[in-house]
Chains A and B, each alone.
Chain A
Amino acid sequence: MVLAETAGAATGGLEFLWQQRGPFFSGLLGTVELSVVAGILATIIGLIVAAMRVSPIPALRVAGTAWSGFFRNTPLTLVFLATSVVLPLVGIRFAWADAIGVDTFFIFAVIALSTYTSCFVADAIRSGFNAVPVGQAEAARAVGMTFGQTLRLVVLPQALRSVLPPLASMYIAMIKNSAIAEFFNVGELTRFFDDQVRDHPEHLYAEFIAVAVGYIVLTLLVSGAFNLAERRLAVSR
């Protein structure tokens, strides 16, 4: 009896999900778009901040440390709120966004997510540089390599390998963090859950499991790609 009811609810949930596949996949696409754009931007900002933090110029090191310290200790929700409230207030409204068919809220979300994530990218890259033993560069200089050669042939290849695992977990965290964008009017996967559960609370479990599976698939894709890259780059030491 109970089994039959459960089976009935499950098929009902599946039927409902099939009907809602359009909004679901557009939500999934929204999460992917937000994560890819914010991920690229976060990597660029993170690289710059990491370069500042390992540079020989003290002022740049201090600025990089301040940037990291600020975002590391501020809640992402606050960064989102500040971006979506303060930027329009000072007159930054991204009028050009409408022209290329991009939602302003999406741009705010990208800015919040990428600046916040950049400090974790910077930390991952910096720890990669720190993991390279100083003797490696010293040996390279001793055999007469220039700074560029040392960096390109000795330091970067080793730093890159130890950077990949923390970078992967950071991108995964970013995909999960992109859920906060739902509150700031960005159409993405958690927004789909929030909308559906208000209109169809009877299918709560089906909606939750579908969205959870969506996120799990995305994070598995990222970790799979990074595992592949790690294996390609692996050397026996």
Chain B
Amino acid sequence: MTSVLYDNPGPAARRRVRFWTAVSVLALAAVVAFVIWQVARKGQLSAAMWSPFADPGLWRQLFDSLFATIKAALLSIVLALVLGAVLATGRLSDRAWLRWPAFVVIEFFRAVPLLLLILFGLFTWGPPLSFIGTAIGATPPDAFAALVVGLTLYNGSVLAEVFRAGINAVPRGQSEAAYALGMRKTAVMRMILAPQAIRMMLPAIVAQCVVALKDSALGFIVGYQELLSFGKRIYQGGADIWELPQPPVVTTLIVVVAIYIVINLLLSWLAAWLERRMSRSRKLAAAPLTAMQTGEEPVAAGPLGGGEPPK
């Protein structure tokens, strides 16, 4: 392993590393044990506190609420992709009267807290847009509509910038060649730039899904019945339903956190896998045209290759 900070360890350094590994493992174990002890001391981790999660009926409801979370996140990502494409097109336009409004919209929705947008939506767009929530059977519909509209506006603006960066990252030779063939701007964008840019942007789009999924938990604040809201209902009503000595707060939160982390890790791995696949295809495409073989600068080596020389 090579690092900018330290050399490959020799025998003395390896001994030192072994010593400090032992010390740090002990210290970390002590911290973790202290936290667990603090929570367990209050009886929060006893078998009874886990008993609600042995109930299959609870898991059915838990999956329903998880579905509500995914519904909000997925719907807003799909809408955000459309909005992002529209805004990015406006931002990349040659006409100033299209470029500037798109710029203002993108910058505004990126600079304002998402929760503020959702609260604003709850008080304005809620009733007129409640048909979205009604159509999909969410309760209460107003909160769902506000959440989806807020998530769409924010993620759409972020994705617009992602799209713009992706289009700009396509090597200039590509569009120059297309113009030289006599294509118009629309055709260049549609047939040359967009197909290449979309492949490059896929990891960023999947990563944005993680953000949307996490942000959908804001529905908890405006009263949309999603995963986190259901978690709160479990520990608020749980003590009565399952006749527990105290509300199962910690166990419920552990389960909810675990669900979020598992889903997000799966999405992150998907993004990383897409990125690896893409960089592999870039290398394959670049192989026949290295600088050494052609004796030229390796500009625009492959269909996706950046003209950047290696560091």
Contacts and interface: CB of A to CB of B under 8 A. Distances in A.
Interface of A: 54, 56-60, 63, 69-70, 72-78, 81-82, 85-86, 89-91, 129-130, 132-134, 136-137, 141, 147, 151, 155, 172, 176-180, 182-183, 190, 193-194, 197, 201, 204, 208, 211-212, 215-216, 219-220
A86 B24 CA distance: 27
A172 B112 CA distance: 10
Given A81-B232, A137-B4, A179 B116 contact: yes
B260 A73 contact: yes
B42 A89 contact: yes
24 contacts: A56-B3, A56-B9, A56-B17, A59-B21, A59-B24, A63-B24, A73-B261, A73-B264, A74-B214, A75-B218, A78-B256, A81-B232, A90-B39, A132-B4, A136-B4, A137-B5, A172-B111, A179-B115, A180-B221, A182-B115, A190-B115, A197-B123, A204-B120, A216-B108
Contact of B217 (A78, A155, A211): A78
Interface residues of B, number: 52
B217 A215 contact: no
Contact of A219 (B111, B114, B264, B265): B111
A105 to B, nearest CB: 15
B268 A73 contact: yes
Contacts of B119: 190, 193-194, 197
Contacts of B256: 78
A208 B113 CA distance: 11
Contacts, number: 143
A178 B116 CA distance: 11
A179 B113 contact: yes
B311 A133 contact: yes
Contacts of B210: 73
Contacts of B2: 134
B253 A216 contact: no
A30 B246 CA distance: 35
B107 to A, nearest CB: 9
A69 B4 contact: no
Contacts of A182: 115
A78 B113 contact: no
Contacts of B44: 89-90
A78 B257 contact: yes
Contacts of B113: 176-179, 190, 215
B220 interface: yes
Interface in B119-165: 119-120, 123-124
B215 interface: yes
B100 interface: no
B228 A57 contact: no
B5 A54 contact: yes
Contacts of A194: 119
B118 to A, nearest CB: 10
B119 to A, nearest CB: 6
B7 interface: yes
Residue among B44, B111, B261, B268 with max Cβ neighbours from chain A (10 Å): B111
A215 B21 contact: no
A85 B249 contact: yes
B218 to A, nearest CB: 6
A72 B17 CA distance: 28
A183 B221 contact: yes
Contacts of B112: 176, 212, 215-216
Residue among B111, B113, B268 with max Cβ neighbours from chain A (10 Å): B113
B41 interface: yes
Contacts of A134: 2-4
Contacts of A183: 115, 221
A129 B4 contact: yes
The 10 closest A-B pairs by CB, nearest first: A75-B217, A179-B113, A73-B264, A77-B217, A176-B113, A75-B214, A179-B115, A73-B261, A137-B4, A183-B221
Contacts of A91: 38, 42
A141 B8 CA distance: 13
Contacts of A177: 113
A54 B3 contact: yes
Given A74-B257, A78-B253, A132-B4, A180 B123 contact: no
A60 B25 CA distance: 8
